[in-house]
């Protein structure tokens, strides 16, 4: 898994992060699926993911920071409606999630997701 580039890691990490966000929304709200989806989308966008990355970045090990850097510096084009800086930080977070998942480091992934969740609750 170490040979995967940042975009490949982010490809997997996007789904992992989305699953965490959807699980969190489902745990916190008893609503119709349309409303659950709307709430999940609020967590899974470049701006929200950039804020989430800022919450965990100071906690990263050297290895994790290197993976995040690879994701942030990946050559991918942000959609026209996205801030390039937010998009790069979101890609860093997704690459980190993908890496931790593929390496089987689920406890560490859970730990970082708890930090993100707490940060979101503190700023809600």
Spot the catalytic one: 14, 30, 86, 122: 14
The CA-atom distances, in angstroms, between 93 and each of 64, 103, 104, 105 are 10, 15, 17, 15
Active site residue 110: no
- Residue closest to 6 by CA, chosen among 62, 72, 58: 72
Taking only Cα atoms into account, the Rg of the chain, rounded to an integer number of angstroms, comes to: 14
Using CB atoms within 10 A of its CB, is residue 116 exposed (0-12), middle (13-18) or buried (19+)?
A: buried
Give the distance, in angstroms, between the CA of residue 88 and the centroid of all CA atoms in the same chain.
11
Do residues 67 and 44 lie in contact, with contact meaning Cβ atoms separated by under 8 Å?
Answer: no
> Could you give the residue numbers annotated as active site?
14
């Amino acid at each position: 898994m170490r040979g995967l580039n940042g975009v490949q890691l982010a490809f997997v990490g996007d789904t992992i992060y989305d699953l965490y966000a959807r699980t969190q929304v489902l745990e916190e709200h008893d609503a119709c699926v349309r409303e659950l989806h709307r709430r999940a989308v609020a967590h899974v966008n470049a701006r929200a993911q950039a804020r989430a990355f800022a919450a965990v970045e100071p906690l990263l090990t050297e290895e994790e920071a290197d993976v995040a850097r690879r994701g942030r510096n990946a050559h991918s084009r942000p959609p026209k409606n996205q801030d390039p800086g937010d998009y790069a930080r979101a890609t860093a977070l997704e690459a980190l999630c993908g890496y931790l998942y593929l390496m089987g480091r689920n406890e560490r992934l859970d730990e970082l997701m708890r930090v993100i969740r707490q940060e979101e609750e503190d700023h809600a």
